[in-house]
Chain A
Amino acid sequence: MSVDPNARPQDRPSGGPNGQSPGGAARCAVPVLVGAAVAVVLGVYGRFHDPAGTAFNLAGFSSTGAVKSWLATAAFAFGLVQLLSATAMYGRLPGVRPAAWTPVLHRWSGRVAFLLAVPVAVHCLYALGYQTQSARAAWHSLLGCFFFGAFSAKMLLLRIERLPGWLLPAVGGLVFAALTVLWLTSALWFFRTFGVTT
């Protein structure tokens, strides 16, 4: 991805609410608002639809919890690739010079991580819903919605030119941080509670 870490912020005043060619803050506002809407919609769906309790399982796994834990673990592993490839692209990885394939690696590891996370989220929202009984469930619910909102915002921000240089790393960092906490509060908890089972 041709991200220029030294891009300067755009400080022209907003050109209008329709997002045709408005200035800095307003141009970022649309993706951020869309991301926020995604997060809120997921949360509202999780809170107000009746958790089904069950959903289909994948062959070879003992429970949906195990399936989700492994999918989440795989997604988190690709998330780590994301972190490393992004740091490399921005030249912040000591001793590593970004190669031509680094952006490709970043894009595809991101896609894979996202697509691995989607079934997990669908199951969470469909079968379990938005829960607040325990701190673990509450943080997981909140950050789960936040993650997909932030990810949507990140994807949409990528399409906008001349962003403030710090913005993509900041949003990407938020996405990765959310994913980390999501993994800690779900898969790690599952493995510690039920054992590392498949």
Chain B
Amino acid sequence: MKRAGPLITLFAGLLLGLFMLSLNATTGEPAPTSLDRSAVSPPASPTPPASPPASPAQPRVPAVRSPSPAPPRDAKYAGRTQDDRASVAITLRKGKAVAYYCDGRTQEAWLRGDVAADGSMRLKSKSGATLDGRVEADKVDGTVTVQNAGHPFTAARAAKPAGVYRATTEVRGTKVDGGWIVLQNGRQVGIVNRDGEPAAAPPIDPRTGAVTIDGEQVTARPVAP
């Protein structure tokens, strides 16, 4: 007697796993929600070229949460300030944005907020820094204001591995909070706070996010709002 049940169970799991994997592979990068929405109502701002064809995964993605006119599609942007002293990276997702401003030495700010339907945003940090910007075609133009100094910037559309990364951990009792911006050309800046003390961060491996801080291996993860 050979029981088929266990085999069927295993194959069902295998199929489910492969199915989920294919969903991930097709939805992982440019999140599909905005595709969904732009199909219903015309996009409020010029959108970048359409990404891979609609996948069956779309219905599983949370439906529109923000008020109706479609905000700019989910995307990542990264660039330098006009004075070339700092980097700015922004991640848009479901009408919300998170941005990181970092000069790689002492100044940094994590900024969060909503993106309006016309692509404009005003993001704020806990320490009072602000980012005013607007999504235009394939870039975001704006100004970051940190400690009352304005830094105009332009951030172009970015794809993996460019973008914002963050790692928080504890190394031998010290709270470690690191942020990195990887630019399209691979250049990166980062700051590690040790118990709130900022300092230049060691580089991360942009493909895996792996970084060694004070002898400890940690993983920096892409930041999404």
Interface-lining segment among A80-88, A131-139, A175-183? A131-139
* Interface bracket on B: 35 or more
Given A51-B209, A115-B16, A161-B1, verify A123-B222 contact (CB < 8 Å). Answer: no
- Asked if A152 and B10 make an inter-chain contact with CB atoms under 8 angstroms apart, the answer reads yes
Q: Does residue A57 face the partner (Cβ distance < 8 Å to B)?
A: yes
Nearest chain-A residue to B28 (Cβ)?
A52
- Report whether over half of chain A's contact residues are helix, strand or loop; otherwise say mixed: loop
* Interface bracket on A: 35 or more
- Asked if B20 and A118 make an inter-chain contact with CB atoms under 8 angstroms apart, the answer reads yes
- Asked if B61 and A56 make an inter-chain contact with CB atoms under 8 angstroms apart, the answer reads yes
Please report which residues of chain A, range 25-79, place their CB below 8 angstroms from some CB of chain B when the two chains form the complex.
Answer: 50-61
Nearest chain-A residue to B61 (Cβ)?
A56
- Asked if A115 and B20 make an inter-chain contact with CB atoms under 8 angstroms apart, the answer reads no
Q: Residues 119-157 of chain A: 1 if any B CB is under 8 Å from the residue's CB, otherwise 0?
A: 101110011010111100000000000000000101110
Pick the contact of A134: B12, B21, B61, B169 (CB < 8 A): B169
Pick the contact of A57: B10, B13, B20, B61 (CB < 8 A): B61
Per the bound structure, the CA–CA distance linking A159 and B8 in Å amounts to 11
- Asked if A56 and B16 make an inter-chain contact with CB atoms under 8 angstroms apart, the answer reads no
Please report which residues of chain A, range 71-123, place their CB below 8 angstroms from some CB of chain B when the two chains form the complex.
Answer: 107, 110-111, 114-115, 118-119, 121-123
- Asked if A158 and B24 make an inter-chain contact with CB atoms under 8 angstroms apart, the answer reads no
Pick the contact of B24: A55, A115, A118 (CB < 8 A): A55
- Asked if B62 and A122 make an inter-chain contact with CB atoms under 8 angstroms apart, the answer reads no
Pick the contact of A53: B60, B61, B221 (CB < 8 A): B221
Q: Does residue B185 face the partner (Cβ distance < 8 Å to A)?
A: no
Given A119-B20, A133-B218, verify A111-B9 contact (CB < 8 Å). Answer: yes
- Asked if B17 and A122 make an inter-chain contact with CB atoms under 8 angstroms apart, the answer reads yes
Pick the contact of A56: B27, B207, B208 (CB < 8 A): B27
Chain A residues with Cβ below 8 Å from B16 are 115, 118-119
Per the bound structure, the CA–CA distance linking A73 and B209 in Å amounts to 28
Chain B residues with Cβ below 8 Å from A114 are 9, 13
Q: Does residue B5 face the partner (Cβ distance < 8 Å to A)?
A: yes
- Asked if B219 and A133 make an inter-chain contact with CB atoms under 8 angstroms apart, the answer reads yes
Per the bound structure, the CA–CA distance linking A51 and B218 in Å amounts to 14
Per the bound structure, the CA–CA distance linking A19 and B128 in Å amounts to 70
- Asked if A53 and B209 make an inter-chain contact with CB atoms under 8 angstroms apart, the answer reads yes
Pick the contact of B13: A51, A52, A59, A118 (CB < 8 A): A118
Nearest chain-A residue to B207 (Cβ)?
A50
Expressed in whole angstroms, the minimum distance between the Cβ of A62 and any Cβ of chain B is: 9
Going nearest first, the 7 A-B pairs with the smallest beta carbon separation are A155-B6, A53-B222, A122-B20, A56-B27, A158-B6, A55-B24, A59-B62
A-B contact pairs, 28 of them (CB 8 A): A1-B3, A51-B209, A52-B29, A54-B31, A54-B222, A54-B224, A55-B24, A55-B28, A56-B24, A56-B27, A56-B61, A57-B62, A58-B60, A59-B60, A111-B9, A114-B9, A115-B12, A118-B20, A119-B16, A122-B20, A123-B24, A127-B24, A132-B217, A133-B216, A155-B10, A156-B6, A156-B10, A159-B3
Q: Which residues of A contact B (CB under 8 A)?
A: 1, 50-61, 107, 110-111, 114-115, 118-119, 121-123, 126-127, 129, 131-134, 152, 154-156, 158-159, 161
Extra 8 A-B pairs, beta carbons < 8 Å, given A52-B28, A54-B224, A114-B13: A55-B27, A111-B9, A111-B12, A114-B9, A126-B28, A129-B208, A133-B216, A152-B10
